[in-house]
Amino acid sequence: MDTKRVAFIATFTALAVALRLLKHGLAGPIQFVNAPLAFAMAAAYAGGPWAGAAVGVLSFVVSDLLIWLGPWTPINAALAAAIGWLWGLAAGAARSRTTLFVLAYVSTFAYDVLSSVLGYLIYLPSAGSALALALIGLLLPAGGGWMIGVGPITEFTTAALAVAAIESLRRSAPQLAASRI
């Protein structure tokens, strides 16, 4: 791996970790944006599948080392890596912001459902009950009841962050977004 690719992955990982730590410091464990996933998607868009996968894994592992490791760490890291890798294959073909946003929203929704199902399977007896709880959990009130529909809020803000990062790359470093490090 060349130094340019290492620096690219390290920069996107650092951005994801810093934003996740900031969110955690301000709002605690309430989920309303998934910075590691958003930056994995942006890194995959500009750097290809392996860059997206590396940022997905590293940003969850490093930030969980600083926040708290748990059984969710390998689940979240593996899913973020998979989505980052898939984004590296598919997202380069998406040119419009609307298409990127929809792709990011669907990717985040898939991540949320799969991470919940895999996490619940540790405690629940069947995949069906884990899936039902995961889907219901996307809409249940959080944070003492004041935040309803945390799932769709998270999908929206994460997709918006991913598209904003991609658009920033397109404007400030068009050769980077076009060359795929």
Query: What is the pLDDT tens value at each position of the chain, 181 positions in all?
Result: 799 999 999 999 999 999 999 999 998 888 899 999 999 999 999 999 999 999 999 999 999 999 999 999 999 999 999 999 999 999 878 889 999 999 999 999 999 999 999 999 998 989 999 999 999 988 887 666 667 788 999 999 999 999 999 999 888 877 665 566 6
User: 145-165 burial, b if ≥16 CB within 10 A, otherwise e?
Assistant: eeeeebbebbbbbbbebbbeb
Rounded CA Rg of the chain? 16
**CB of 154 closer than 8 Å to CB of 108:** yes
pTM score: 0.92
Which residue is it, tokens 């990982």? 13
- C-beta of residue 52 within 8 angstroms of C-beta of residue 96: no
Summarised one tens digit per residue, pLDDT across range 101-117 is 999 999 999 999 999 99
Q: Has domain 3-179 been given CATH number 3.30.2270.10?
A: no
CA-CA-CA-CA dihedral for 15, 173, 171, 18, to nearest 10: 0
Distance CA 54, CA 70 (A): 20
pLDDT of residue 92: 75
- Return d(Cα 66, Cα 40) in angstroms, integer: 19
Q: How much is the pLDDT for 173?
A: 77
How confident is the model at residue 120, as a pLDDT? 93
CA atoms within 13 A on the CB side of 179: 8
